[in-house]
Amino acid sequence: MDLKEKLISSFLAFENQVDTDTFIHNVRNEAIKMFEEKGFPTKKEEAWKYTSLNSVLKHDYSVFPTQENNVDYNEVKKYFIHDIDTFNVVFIDGKFASHLSQTTHDGIDVCLMSSALTKPKYRLIIENYFNKAATNDSLASLNTAFSSEGAYIHIPKNKLVQKPIQIINFSTGNETATMLQPRNLIVIDENSHVQIIERHQSLTDNPVLTNSVTEIFTNKRAIVDYYKIQNDRLNASLIDNTFIKQRQESVASVHTFAFGGKLVRNNLNFFQEGQRIDSTLKGITIIGDNQHVDHNTLVHHIEPNCESHQDYKGIFDESATGVFNGKIIVEKEAQKTNAFQANNNILISDKASINTKPQLEIFADDVKCSHGCTIGQLDESAMFYMRSRGIPEKEAKALLMYAFSNNVLNSVKIPEIKQRITKIIANKLGVNIGFDL
């Protein structure tokens, strides 16, 4: 039985386990039908031309978690941004881990999707927002069909949330292979501001496949800064589907730091439904081995006077492969749009490769849109310059690569995240030099 059949045949058992007497029952049933119809995407589809899921779909995954597993905080502390005060919503093998979490209902809701989907007091928000940003492509539909747990965050209007919120999904590897489908919903009302950090981390070398969906709604003048730290083990694969619906004058930024995992696909979608909206999509990808990272972005400019900024840097070593596919749609009504996109890549080895493709569909006539992509090697003259000052080859390389990705790091607003990413980069590049100062 292949994974698709297994998922479809498991669906009834899954639905029986969770509460079926809710609004979401219908949503789930429609979603599983959609998935059944479409199946997993293949390389025949334009959007998946350079990413094959075959190697990650072949495992016999346990498809929905039943067992409660436990891990000790000290074992996993290093995966938290622990030097600052944060709210934490933490899951182990898809189940909420209360001892690792710090949730709240004090003025804001930082809690669990499972409660939000079942308790009447959340019903209005769920009906208004749940699955209202996610598209009905096969992977998002699959997640919707199995959606039961994840982070639920609702920030009412005029709140400046002081503490960043961390959403962390651990997998213990207690099953031989695990498939996880976390589902997050984040609603930020008028004038509110929140910062969120998301991470997926496997704790053993058993295969893990995560197909996550995060829906984010920024209402009028709301601000969200979202950071995705992807530094998982080489057995773990992630399909991240993030959908952001923005209302007028809201500001949303997503930084994706892709350093780890076997296969990572980031489907990042912005929908601008209002005027004077600002969207930022930035990323640093540093991979080696046989790793594969695919950034598939969409910015949909629907109304006038909005901006979007995309800046992705990629460094590929050994046999690593990368994909950047950046689509910008500017509707006819979306006059005075400013849309920028840049994708710069460095190939360190002859075996590494990157496929980069900007896709601009512009129907308005008074817009500023620019895009550019580069693929290059390390600058040899810069290497000699640095080495002639006593900086060894490896360190010189690392410094150049760090400098190359530095302008993405500079827009990170939480210093501790910047420090952490800098450390991960130094680690990844095998050097022990402090990049700051």
Binding site for another protein (CB under 8 A): 379-382, 384-393, 395-396, 399-400, 402-404, 406-407, 433-437
Q: What are phi and psi of 154, to 5 degrees?
A: -130, 120
Q: What are phi and psi of 46, to 5 degrees?
A: -55, -45
| Range list of β-strands (E), 23-150 | 87-92, 95-96, 109-112
Q: How far is the CB of 132 from another protein (least distance, A)?
A: 40
Of 82 and 387, CB closest to another protein? 387
- C-beta separation of 164 from 131 below 8 A: no
- Closest by CA position to 401, among listed 429, 423, 433, 420: 429
- Give CA–CA dist 233/252, Å, rounded: 29
- Give CA–CA dist 40/404, Å, rounded: 36
Q: How far is the CB of 347 from another protein (least distance, A)?
A: 19
- Give CA–CA dist 114/75, Å, rounded: 26
Of 21 and 436, CB closest to another protein? 436
Q: How far is the CB of 320 from another protein (least distance, A)?
A: 22
Of 1 and 437, CB closest to another protein? 437
Of 127 and 393, CB closest to another protein? 393
Query: What token pair was written down for 29?
Result: 């049933």
Q: How far is the CB of 429 from another protein (least distance, A)?
A: 13
Of 45 and 379, CB closest to another protein? 379
Instruction: Work out the angle at residue 72's Cα, subtended by the Cα atoms of residues 179 and 99, and round it to the nearest 5 degrees.
Output: 85
- Give CA–CA dist 238/255, Å, rounded: 16
Q: How far is the CB of 284 from another protein (least distance, A)?
A: 12
Of 107 and 434, CB closest to another protein? 434
Q: How far is the CB of 399 from another protein (least distance, A)?
A: 6
- Closest by CA position to 354, among listed 379, 376, 326: 376
- Give CA–CA dist 129/399, Å, rounded: 44
Q: How far is the CB of 353 from another protein (least distance, A)?
A: 24
Of 363 and 385, CB closest to another protein? 385
Q: Spell out a b/e string for 273-300, using b for 16 or more CB atoms within 10 Å of the CB, else e.
A: bbebbbbbbbbbbbbbeebbbbbbbbbb
Bridge pairing between strands 183-188 and 208-218: parallel
- Give CA–CA dist 263/268, Å, rounded: 16
Of 239 and 386, CB closest to another protein? 386
Query: What token pair was written down for 40?
Result: 């997993």
Of 251 and 399, CB closest to another protein? 399
Of 54 and 381, CB closest to another protein? 381
Q: How far is the CB of 432 from another protein (least distance, A)?
A: 9
Q: How far is the CB of 421 from another protein (least distance, A)?
A: 14
Instruction: Work out the angle at residue 325's Cα, subtended by the Cα atoms of residues 136 and 351, and round it to the nearest 5 degrees.
Output: 125
Q: How far is the CB of 405 from another protein (least distance, A)?
A: 8
- Give CA–CA dist 257/282, Å, rounded: 9
Q: How far is the CB of 253 from another protein (least distance, A)?
A: 20
- What interhelical angle do 138-145 and 23-38 show, nearest 10? 140
Of 74 and 381, CB closest to another protein? 381
Neighbours of 73 (CB within 10 A): 12
